[in-house]
């Protein structure tokens, strides 16, 4: 069941790659239409822009530089944790699994629905 769709608005999870921290921010459903799109979330600690990671994102420990490098690499290749609550799909647990994961997904052509979803999520 789609827990995010059925149980009301959840706060969005954003990550600061510079500080290696994640923060929950106001959901677009809590604001007036059009206001959310104008917001640019910045890290409360360093002031750098944060990246929308999705509600299912669980940040690695701040000191785990290798896991953060994996998260950043996944983000740069378009893999976040946005979904309706049914699961964001498989993401490699270990950094050593990342090259094979990216290779597998690079060869797979995205469907029209996936491309539309990615455009909607990235604004």
In the chain, % of residues over pLDDT 90: 33
Where does residue 106 rank: exposed (0-12), middle (13-18), buried (19+ CB within 10 A)?
Answer: exposed
Q: Tens digits of per-residue pLDDT, 4-50?
A: 555 556 778 899 999 999 998 776 666 777 776 677 888 999 999 99
Smallest Cα–Cα separation from 78: which of 61, 94, 102, 95? 102
- Model pLDDT, residue 28: 64
Q: Mean of the pLDDT values across residues 87-111?
A: 81
Among residues 45, 105, 94, the alpha carbon closest in space to that of 71 is found at 94
3-state secondary structure of 56: coil
Instruction: Tell me how far apart the alpha carbons of residues 107 and 119 are, in angstroms, rounded to a whole number.
Output: 20
Tokens of 98: 């990342």
pLDDT at 63 over 90: yes
Domain boundary assignment for the chain? 3-122
CA distance 122 to 99: 24
Q: Is-above-0.85 flag for pTM?
A: no
């Amino acid at each position: 069941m789609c827990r995010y769709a059925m149980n009301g608005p959840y706060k969005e999870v954003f990550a600061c790659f510079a500080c290696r921290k994640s923060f929950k921010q106001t959901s677009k459903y809590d604001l007036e239409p059009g206001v959310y799109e104008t917001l640019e979330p910045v890290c409360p600690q360093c002031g750098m822009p944060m990246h929308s990671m999705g509600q299912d994102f669980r940040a690695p420990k701040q000191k785990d530089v290798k896991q953060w490098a994996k998260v950043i690499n996944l983000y740069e290749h378009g893999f976040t944790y946005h979904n309706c609550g049914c699961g964001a799909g498989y993401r490699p647990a270990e950094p050593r699994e990342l090259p094979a994961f990216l290779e597998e997904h690079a060869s797979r052509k995205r469907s029209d629905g996936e491309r539309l979803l990615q455009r909607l999520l990235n604004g």
